[in-house]
């Protein structure tokens, strides 16, 4: 593994295994590079703790339609304007703890993480997963790196979200911490709702 410079600090992108009561599938470890950052990832199936949703935001009703999940493979180049910076920012928080209701580097929940990462680029998006899903532009076909991918987990409609990296992988706050997850996980593949875009189109 190599060290990557992110701002003035060195970023050591090591994936921490989150504990889970879910059954774990046999997987292999993958080493990939995103925007010059080396990511070591295993495709362990995780059963997530329900992501946080604040009560003061109205929850739109979204249909629980499971879409075809993105195909797995090598990381794709970031084609959307600002995507490289977005991915580097998101990956810089790998290993930060999961905290229910958290929206800062001291602890994130899923939508707090995505809102914070986009905010670092000067892009304000809603706070909760369901409202992010309703507000973003619908993505036709496979998402591009930097898009947000949504899942129906513990609640009706979009209740979990992550930042898509490409190649069937996304970074999200779930379980114990922020880490990279793969669509090879049956749990997420079967609960995928679709992707939304907040970055400008290429």
Nearest-angstrom CA–CA distance, 161 and 192:
10
Say what the pLDDT of residue 69 is: 63
Q: How many other β-carbons are positioned within 10 Å of the β-carbon of residue 179?
A: 27
Q: Report d(CA 43, CA 71) in Å as an integer.
A: 14
C-alpha span between 75 and 167 (Å, rounded): 5
Q: What pLDDT is attached to residue 43? A: 41
Q: What share of the chain is helix, strand, coil (3-state, %, to 5)?
A: 15, 25, 55
Please give the backbone phi and psi of residue 99, each rounded to the nearest 5 degrees, phi first.
-135, 125
pLDDT, residue 48, reads 40
Helical spans, DSSP H, in the chain: 83-91, 110-120, 129-135, 186-189
Domains defined for the chain, CATH in brackets: 4-197 (3.90.1720.10)
- In sequence order, the 6+-apart residues with CB closer than 8 A to the CB of 139 are 147, 194, 195, 196, 197
CA distance 153 to 126: 19
Of 6, 13, 52, 172, the catalytic one is 172
Q: What is the structure's pLDDT at 65?
A: 43
192, HSE (Cβ side, Cα atoms, 13 Å): 26
pLDDT digit string (tens) for the chain, length 202 residues: 333 333 333 333 333 333 333 333 333 334 444 544 444 443 433 334 444 443 333 333 444 444 556 755 545 555 799 999 999 999 999 999 999 999 999 999 999 999 999 999 999 999 999 999 999 999 999 999 999 999 999 878 999 999 999 999 999 999 999 999 999 999 999 999 999 999 998 7
> How many other C-beta atoms are found inside a 10 Å radius of the C-beta of residue 10?
10
pLDDT confidence of residue 22: 32
pTM for the predicted model, two decimal places:
0.67
For 62, the token pair is: 């979204």
Q: CA–CA distance from 45 to each of 51, 58, 116, 128 (Å)? A: 17, 31, 25, 24
The answer to whether residue 110 is catalytic is yes
Examine the residue annotation and report whether 172 is marked as an active-site residue of this protein: yes
Catalytic residue among 13, 52, 160, 179: 160
From the candidates 6, 13, 67, 110, give the one annotated as an active-site residue: 110
Q: Among this protein's residues, is 13 annotated catalytic?
A: no
């Amino acid at each position: 593994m190599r060290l990557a410079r992110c701002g003035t600090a060195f970023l050591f992108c090591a994936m921490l295994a989150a504990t889970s009561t879910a059954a774990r599938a046999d997987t292999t470890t993958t080493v990939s590079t995103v925007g010059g950052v080396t990511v070591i990832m295993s495709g362990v199936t995780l059963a997530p703790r329900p992501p946080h949703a604040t009560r003061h935001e109205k929850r739109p009703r979204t249909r629980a339609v499971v879409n075809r999940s993105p195909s797995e493979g090598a990381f794709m180049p970031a084609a959307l304007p600002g995507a490289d910076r977005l991915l580097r920012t998101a990956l810089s928080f790998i290993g930060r703890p999961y905290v229910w209701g958290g929206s800062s580097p001291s602890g994130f929940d899923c939508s707090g993480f995505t809102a914070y990462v986009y905010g670092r680029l000067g892009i304000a998006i809603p706070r909760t997963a369901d409202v992010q899903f309703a507000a973003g532009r619908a993505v036709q076909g496979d998402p591009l790196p930097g898009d947000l991918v949504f899942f129906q987990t513990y609640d009706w409609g979009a209740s979990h979200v992550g930042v898509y990296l490409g190649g069937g992988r996304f970074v999200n706050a779930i379980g114990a911490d922020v880490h990279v997850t793969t669509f090879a996980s049956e749990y997420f593949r079967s609960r995928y709702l679709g992707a939304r875009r907040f970055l400008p189109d290429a």
